[in-house]
């Protein structure tokens, strides 16, 4: 099968590369996330099996890489898939497969690429064309296919593939749609919010109706409104006699609109996984790192040109242990692991019985895997440390922490001015300027205009649209009479000093001094009568806030789980969440001394960091 491109993965006609992922780790939580994978896989294979003969798949870049979370290469080969290609305009690569299957999101630019491919392919071969829209087809897409003269090529072969959520880990699912925040808050387009509601509905079909729905923010309310409507439509199609309702495996969902907490994604993440994402970028559980830092080995980790693809999920014991730690605690953890592995190998030198030697030999593969894992993460930690030890990183971090503590937020910041003078990456500058605007509850008109003028003169006037977008969604704003951040910081203890990063007692460890507002809200909402503690501050957050109980299709109350068992709460972020926020939720789940007794699941429209969040609101120079 052709899975590995000769060059970079996004070159024209390149074959789609995605890392092999074991799925055993998905069933490790209280809620079996592997059922989501099974559900997605079943839908894919059902559609593929309707097509006779050999097949090539052509998919847009984002879906191509995320397909590895649904099905691996051997599985796809069993269903007559020969090759997977990235979707590009122009001509498809040569292939002797009998069918071309396009799997794409319903976006008009992808339709134009598909039309190009079909027009070019019919000139040189006789193949059947099929198209699967994820998660559904739209009227505009069908109209564009017709306008481009290729709708007839898909007659009887146009399908919908209802992939709403992708399983990333045993406590994490994501829609992987990067445009949700921009589409709703900038363009007033609720399309992806409807898809989010469909995702929640699919979770309810797998794990039971979620009894309690809590939410904050306009996007959260919109998602819940869609969910209620979809649930009503679904129940009207069901047989009332088959309405025996089992207790839901999820007790509550908290839907958070990203607009409720715009500051957290801008702050530099200081957990191990968060820093890997900040520095190198994590896509679909995989990080691409410079291959020269890793000695050649017998493992089958994919190489692409000069990079090595390393999979990051809880299926690897060491990564599961260190991923959520503050980076300052990672070095000591790796040292302890090295001593432990060394001691295990030293056991072979002692006097052993035959039975003991057999036991040692049986453990050897696992020990070798642990040794390789340690070598990988030691190298990754060294690569991260090279960045975090630099003067530029430390000075930027100090500036962030000063802003979050309300220091020098009311005037142009010298470090931000220096960054502009040095023409540092614009994304870095915009993150800091937006952080200052948020922590100061808006910038004075003189300061805001100064920043905008300096940015446009230094980086180019074509960035005016991006600045306008940031203003429209509230990331850049003029100073208000109210000081919401100051009140929230004090009332919810958003900045915490002297939190031991090696043995933390508060979620603020994920940013060293700052506790994510989003997770502090969750922390209160899951406590008994916790919403009362928020009454004094809820008016400072984007409205509305709601807390409702769902009922069974017949209108009766849903079964209540035993009070002594841990409550399972799904926190669903509409507009994206960071790895630091996920680490903070895991930290809360693991606290033994707690009045909550909660296990968290995390759902999101996209896994983001500050750079990708700002990038999603930026206007590209080309609009292809």
In this predicted model, what pLDDT tens digit does every residue of 209-265 receive, in sequence order? 999 999 999 999 999 999 999 999 988 777 655 555 667 899 999 999 999 999 999
Note the pLDDT of residue 421: 97
Assigned token pair, 319 = 């990564």
Longest dimension (CA), the chain: 81
**Lowest-confidence range among 108-117, 188-197, 595-604?**
595-604
Crossing angle of helices 391-404 and 426-439, in 10° steps, is: 20
Assigned token pair, 154 = 């898909």
**Lowest-confidence range among 497-506, 529-538, 566-575?**
529-538
DSSP β-bridge partners for residue 283: 286
Q: What is the CATH number of domain 24-163?
A: 3.40.50.2060
Res. 577 pLDDT band, cuts 50 70 90? very high
State yes or no: pLDDT of 340 exceeds 70.
Answer: yes
Note the pLDDT of residue 61: 82
Note the pLDDT of residue 289: 93
Residues 6 or more apart in contact with residue 223 via CB below 8 angstroms? 193, 196, 197, 200, 215, 255, 572, 574
Q: What percent of the chain has pLDDT above 90?
A: 73
Note the pLDDT of residue 244: 54
- The 3 state secondary structure assigned to 3-64 is CCCCCCCCCCCCECCCCCCCCHHHHCCCCCCHHHHHHHHHHHHHHHCCCCCCEEEEECHHHH
Task: Give yes or no for a contact between 272 and 322, defined as CB atoms under 8 angstroms apart.
Answer: yes
Which residue in this structure is represented by tokens 């469909």?
Answer: 198
State yes or no: pLDDT of 624 exceeds 50.
Answer: no
In whole angstroms, give the CA distance from residue 201 to residue 186. Answer: 26
Note the pLDDT of residue 190: 97
Note the pLDDT of residue 245: 62
Note the pLDDT of residue 491: 94
Mean pLDDT computed over 181-193: 97
Of the candidates 492, 501, 66, 167, the one whose C-alpha atom is nearest the C-alpha of residue 324 is: 501
Which has more confidence, 363 or 331? 331
In whole angstroms, give the CA distance from residue 588 to residue 186. Answer: 33
**pTM for this predicted structure:** 0.92
Mean pLDDT of the chain: 89
DSSP assignments along 517-564, one per residue = HHHHHHHHHTSTTHHHHTTTTGGGSSSPEEEEE-B-TTSPBPPPPPTT
State yes or no: pLDDT of 530 exceeds 80.
Answer: no
Res. 9 pLDDT band, cuts 50 70 90? very low
State yes or no: pLDDT of 38 exceeds 80.
Answer: yes
Of the candidates 200, 216, 203, the one whose C-alpha atom is nearest the C-alpha of residue 524 is: 216
State yes or no: pLDDT of 4 exceeds 60.
Answer: no
Crossing angle of helices 391-404 and 414-421, in 10° steps, is: 140
Q: What percent of the chain has pLDDT above 70?
A: 89
Instruction: Provide the 10 A C-beta neighbour count for residue 346.
Output: 9
Task: Give yes or no for a contact between 624 and 109, defined as CB atoms under 8 angstroms apart.
Answer: yes
Where are any strands of DSSP class E within 209-260?
212-216, 252-257
What's the pLDDT tens digit per position in 66-104? 888 999 889 999 999 999 999 999 999 999 999 999 999
C-alpha radius of gyration, the chain, whole number: 25
Note the pLDDT of residue 22: 59
Q: Which fold has domain 391-483?
A: 1.25.40
Task: Give yes or no for a contact between 280 and 309, defined as CB atoms under 8 angstroms apart.
Answer: no
**Lowest-confidence range among 189-203, 285-299, 369-383?**
285-299
Note the pLDDT of residue 527: 87
**Lowest-confidence range among 52-56, 120-124, 255-259?**
120-124
CATH 1.25.40.850 domain residues, the chain:
391-483
Class of domain 274-366: alpha beta
Of the candidates 474, 400, 463, the one whose C-alpha atom is nearest the C-alpha of residue 436 is: 400
Note the pLDDT of residue 595: 63
Report the side by side order of strands in the sheet with 166-169. Answer: 166-169, 172-174, 598-604, 567-574, 252-257, 212-216, 545-549
Which has more confidence, 593 or 150? 150
Note the pLDDT of residue 16: 59
Of the candidates 287, 53, 18, the one whose C-alpha atom is nearest the C-alpha of residue 157 is: 53
Mean pLDDT computed over 21-34: 79
What is the number of helices (H) and of strands (E) in the chain?
22, 16
Which has more confidence, 8 or 370? 370
Which residue in this structure is represented by tokens 């994919």?
Answer: 302
Matching CATH number, 168-265+516-613, of 3.40.50.1910, 3.20.20.70, 3.90.420.10, 2.130.10.10: 3.40.50.1910
CATH 3.40.50.1910 domain residues, the chain:
168-265+516-613
């Amino acid at each position: 099968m052709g899975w590995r491109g000769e060059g970079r993965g996004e070159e024209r006609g390149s074959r789609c590369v995605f890392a092999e992922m074991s799925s055993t780790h998905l069933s490790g939580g209280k809620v079996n996330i592997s059922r989501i994978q099974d559900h997605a896989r079943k839908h894919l294979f059902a559609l593929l099996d309707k097509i006779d003969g050999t097949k090539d798949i052509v998919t847009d870049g984002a879906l191509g890489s995320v397909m590895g979370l649904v099905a691996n290469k051997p599985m796809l080969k069993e269903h007559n898939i020969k090759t997977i290609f990235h979707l590009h305009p122009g001509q498809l690569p040569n292939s002797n497969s009998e069918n071309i299957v396009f799997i794409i999101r319903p976006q008009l630019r992808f339709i134009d690429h598909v039309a190009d491919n079909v027009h070019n392919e019919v000139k040189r071969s006789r193949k059947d064309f099929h198209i699967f829209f994820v998660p559904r087809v739209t009227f505009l897409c069908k109209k564009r296919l017709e306008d481009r003269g290729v709708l007839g090529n898909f007659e009887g072969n146009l399908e919908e593939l209802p992939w709403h959520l992708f399983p990333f880990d045993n406590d994490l699912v994501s829609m992987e749609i990067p445009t949700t925040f921009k589409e709703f808050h900038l363009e007033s387009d609720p399309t992806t919010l409807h898809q989010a509601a469909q995702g929640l509905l699919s979770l309810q079909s797998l794990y039971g109706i979620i009894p309690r729905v809590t939410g904050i923010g306009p996007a959260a309310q919109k998602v819940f409104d869609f969910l209620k409507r979809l649930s009503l439509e679904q129940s009207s199609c069901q047989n009332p006699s088959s309405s025996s309702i089992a207790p839901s495996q999820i007790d509550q969902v908290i839907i958070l609109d990203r607009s409720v907490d715009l500051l957290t994604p801008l702050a530099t993440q200081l957990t191990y996984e968060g820093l890997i994402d900040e520095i190198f970028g994590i896509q679909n559980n995989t990080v691409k790192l410079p291959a020269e830092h890793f000695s050649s080995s017998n493992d089958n980790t994919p190489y692409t040109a000069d990079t090595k693809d390393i999979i990051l999920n809880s299926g690897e014991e060491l990564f599961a242990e260190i991923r959520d730690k503050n980076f300052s605690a990672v070095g000591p953890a790796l040292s302890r692991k090295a001593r432990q592995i060394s001691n295990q190998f030293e056991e072979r030198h002692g006097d052993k019985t035959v039975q003991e030697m057999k036991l040692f030999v049986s453990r050897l593969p696992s020990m070798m895997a642990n040794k390789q894992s340690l070598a990988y993460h030691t190298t990754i930690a060294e690569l991260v440390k090279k960045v975090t030890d630099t003067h530029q990183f430390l000075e930027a971090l100090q500036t962030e922490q000063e802003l979050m503590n309300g220091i020098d937020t009311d005037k142009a910041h010298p470090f931000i001015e220096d960054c502009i003078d040095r023409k540092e990456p614009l994304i870095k500058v915009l993150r800091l300027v937006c952080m200052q605007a948020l922590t100061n509850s808006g910038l004075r008109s003189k300061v805001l205009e100064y920043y905008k003028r300096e940015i446009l003169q230094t980086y180019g006037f074509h960035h005016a649209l991006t600045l306008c977008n940031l203003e429209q969604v509230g990331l850049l704003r003029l100073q208000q009479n109210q000081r919401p951040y100051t009140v929230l910081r004090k009332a919810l203890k958003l900045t915490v000093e002297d939190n031991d990063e090696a043995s933390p007692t508060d979620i603020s460890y994920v940013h060293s001094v700052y506790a994510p507002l989003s997770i502090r809200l969750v922390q209160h909402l899951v406590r008994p009568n916790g919403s009362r503690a928020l009454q004094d501050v809820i008016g400072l957050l984007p409205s509305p806030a709601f807390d409702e109980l769902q009922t069974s299709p017949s209108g009766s109350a849903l079964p209540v789980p035993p009070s002594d068992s841990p409550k399972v709460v799904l926190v669903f972020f509409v507009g994206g969440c960071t790895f630091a926020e996920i680490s903070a939720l895991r930290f809360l789940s693991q606290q033994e001394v707690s009045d909550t007794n909660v296990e968290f699941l995390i759902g999101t429209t996209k896994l983001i960091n500050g750079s990708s969040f700002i990038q999603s609101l930026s206007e590209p120079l080309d609009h292809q």
